[in-house]
Structure 1
């Protein structure tokens, strides 16, 4: 066999034409044969340490991603008989794509194509002794999240991928576009993103803080839009939107997102994030709710996540509160002002 003669490998064994040394050995290809195939002018080339591209010419973006995961995963591969069926998908061990590459797989328009990325971020357990090399940036973290399979590729959850992407850029406008798209596209809620950014100790960076402000504003707008949709499409009577409640000639009671004065029912969207003083902020919510309910006003507390995932259930809660108004004592008179 000459160095320019491709070794006979089954197509299903060569997904994206990228194989690890362990996979090649499992097919009976020795290290010497692999080295011969990768000589100048040969049909193969070494893509990364222990990872080989089984064709000449530059790798595609998909091949680069597959190679990065094979390099970082280093899963054990046992020899199989030629007649044995191929596995359903390539094994990557505990490695998963994160950062911009993961966002691209999720369909983010603000993330560049994988083929154009100078580096591909891969998440592995902190206990792995593995260095970044070539175009692969290895991120070793404790407590890995459960990966999401996107097209058969293990990918970090969106909020984790966002935090890893933001950690690698200094362009505030780029960070803002990514975070805003995450919420606008319904990929995740702002609180989950802020929690990951806080855990990564990124909230102290000026460009990240500015991006988070845009994220929270977008999240608030999306949640309000879902609340409007709930009222419009679930047969609920139209409320007064975004009003401030006060006692006549007395103190301010607080703002609510929707209010039905005839039934004395209010809806409030919980917009807290992990970056705020959770206990103090929740205490303020609870105090306002208790004060309103002592005046006979029913407060329905909803979150952006509930409005996204269980809209029908939230509509039922509001409808029940409205229907129960006739069975309650009349509420105290309050002054209603636009917010």
Structure 2
């Protein structure tokens, strides 16, 4: 569904609209080290999703799909909404964002600051998504999926090619948080044949883990501390296909692991990330993923839209 050529095309399309985010080293004597952090939380809107959103909206404009008077509609736990609101504002078109009632107040305030119309509906992402689909049908707006569209996945995949370039190919494994799986799929497609990708999920929302066990995407219950960012009810079709094609495996971490990793990122690096974004690092700290001797591991820190008052 998504190949390296799609990711290269996305990189060319979004150049100048997104940031090239830095990589910093985890020292051998530091928790989880040695390795690297890919600091995608420094991306526009504080989340990797800006890459896919910009790619989707620009592609829709190129194809003539985008009506500038109607704009775009997206359902989101918050981060995809922020990314698409940013993309829409950059192109001067309206954005309507449907979010569940559990969406972070920080994210809702930021959405409004970007000029988006915010509609809070339902207690889960899936309910907000249903309402967004109706709005698309009623208005003819461009639908921007939070994670399961080729342009969204390809945009996210530009992180993978960028990371490999920054490390001169010296990376064996990339740890990536998984909710709906768009980020994991993009990075896995971008680095296929170069590095392996390990998806890290909360034990309370095991979308990829369950799909791999069941032989396809299925609904899972959604709960836990990371539900506002990793709260998709099932893994995306694209994500499942790419995971199977490239051999992505899943490891699970607890809410306590997420809290500890998030706190360690603050204490050790003065980096404030969301609970969901701490999942990849939590896999190392908790032992859910144990690198082999000499294995070169990169940890993707993907989002910073959090309330820092509880750090």
Name the TM-score class by shorter chain.
Answer: under 0.3
When normalised by structure 1's length, the TM-score is 0.24
TM-score w.r.t. the length of structure 2 is: 0.26
More helix per residue = 2
